[in-house]
Amino acid sequence: MKIEHIREFLEVTETLNYSIAAKNLYTSQSAITRHIQAMEKELGVKLFDTSSHGVTLTDAGKLAAVSLLNVINEYDRYLEKNSNYTNSITGTLRLGLLYYAIDDVYSGILDHFRGKYPGVQLKCRSYQPQELYEDILNGKVDAGTLFYSDAKDVSDMEGVKVSESGMVVILQEEDPLTAESSVRLEDLEGHPIVELSDDEFSNRVTRSMLKKNKVRYTDCYSAGDLEMVPSLIRKRGGFHLTGESCKRQNGAGVVYIPVAGSRVRFSFGFFHLKENRNPLIEVFMNEVKAYSAKQ
C-alpha cells in the first residue's frame, strides 16, 4: 500500500467527495477511485458506500481511517526527523565521473544526493577511465564511476552497480560485417583489435570480455586515445569495442554496429577503496544503492 494512496483515502474521508478530494490533491478523480479500489482489494473490506445521497464511510472504513491516520502521522514525523538528520551531515566528497556517461548514467543520482544532503559538497571531476582508476587507487578521489564486464575487472575495490550498457563495435566502412544490422563477438574472430595507448583499464576490460566469449584477434593496433580510433580503423582496419554512449561520436569513414548477445554488456557503477576512511563514502554509496533500486 503506497503512502500517496493512504493520503488520498484520508482526504476522501474528510471531504466525503471524490471530486473535491482530487482537486485538493491536484490529481484526477479516476486515479483516486482506482487507488481506493486497490486498497479495498488489499484489505479485503469495503471502505466507502456510494449512493445518490453521496459518499459515506463503512464501519470498516471508519476503523481504517483511524489506523491509517496514525500511520501517516508517524511517517510524517519520521520524515521530519530524517530531514533534520540529513541536514546535519556536512563535509566534502571527491567524485570522479567518466566523461561520456555523466548525463546518461549519473546526473540523476548526483541531483538526488545534493537535494537530500545539502551540507555535503560534491567535488566532481571528469575523467578518462585509466586516470580515474589510478586516482581511486591512490586516494585522490573518494569514489568514481567505472565500467566492467566481469567483477574481476574491479576486484580491488568495493562498489555499487548502477546500470548496464550495450556495446557497439567500430569497423571500417568496407568491412563485410557492416552489411549486418548487428554482429556477434565471434564474428570478430581473426580481426585485428584497436586498443588505447592511454587507457590500459579499458583495454583490460575489453580483453576480459573477449576472453570470456573465447574470441581471438590476430593483431593489435594502438590508438592514442578514443578520438583517434576512427582515424586508425579507417586507415588500417580492425575493430574497437566500446559502450553505446560512444556511438554519438559518428566518426567519418567508420561504422558503429550494435553487438548482439546477453553476455555482451558493460556494467557501470560507483567504486571506492575499502581503505578510504572518508565517512561520507558510506552515506553516498547507500544513497546510490537506494536510488538505483528505484529505477
End-to-end CA gap in the chain: 19
Residue in 165, 132, 135, 156 with CA at minimum distance from that of residue 146: 132
Residue whose C-alpha cell is 555482451? 264
Residue 39, Cα to own-chain centre: how many angstroms?
Answer: 31
Pull the grid cell for residue 24: 485538493
The CATH 3.40.190.290 portion of the chain extends over 163-266
Helix (H) / strand (E) element for 194: namely strand 193-196
| The pLDDT value given to residue 286 | 93
Q: What is the pLDDT of residues 6-39, one digit of tens each?
A: 999 999 999 999 999 998 888 889 999 999 999 9
Q: Is the dihedral of CA 50, 56, 58, 64 positive or negative?
A: positive
Name the residue among 133, 167, 158 with its Cα closest to residue 263. 167
Interatomic CA distance for residues 295 and 97, integer angstroms? 20
Q: What is the DSSP string of 101-150?
A: TIIIIIHHHHHHHHHH-TTEEEEEEEE-HHHHHHHHHTTS-SEEEEEESS
State the DSSP string of 31-73.
HHHHHHHHHHHHHTS--EEEETTEEEE-HHHHHHHHHHHHHHH
Average confidence (pLDDT) per 10 residues, the chain, 295 residues: 91 92 88 93 93 90 93 85 76 88 73 89 91 93 89 84 87 93 92 92 90 89 88 92 70 86 80 92 93 81
Strand-strand pairing, 91-98 and 143-148: parallel
CATH C-level class of 163-266: alpha beta
Picking from 101, 130, 143, 98, the residue whose alpha carbon sits closest to that of residue 206 is 130
pLDDT tens digits for range 159-199? 998 888 888 899 999 999 999 999 999 999 989 999 999 89
> CA–CA separation, 124 vs 111, rounded Å?
12
Question: What pLDDT is attached to residue 144?
Answer: 93
The topology (CATH level 3) of 3-87 is Arc Repressor Mutant, subunit A (1.10.10)
CATH of domain 91-144+274-294: 3.40.190.10
pLDDT of residue 262: 63
State the pLDDT at residue 105. Answer: 62
Residue span(s) of the chain under CATH 3.40.190.10 come to 91-144+274-294
User: What percent of the chain is modeled with pLDDT above 70?
Assistant: 94
Q: Looking at residue 272, what DSSP letter applies?
A: E
DSSP 168: E
Rounded distance between C-alpha atoms, residue 188 and residue 209, angstroms: 13
Stretch(es) of the chain classified as CATH 1.10.10.10 = 3-87
**Range list of H helices, 138-198:** none
Q: Which long-range contacts (CB under 8 A, 24 or more apart) does 36-41 make?
A: 36/5, 36/8, 36/9, 36/12, 38/5, 39/1, 39/5, 39/6, 39/9
Cell matching residue 191: 580481426
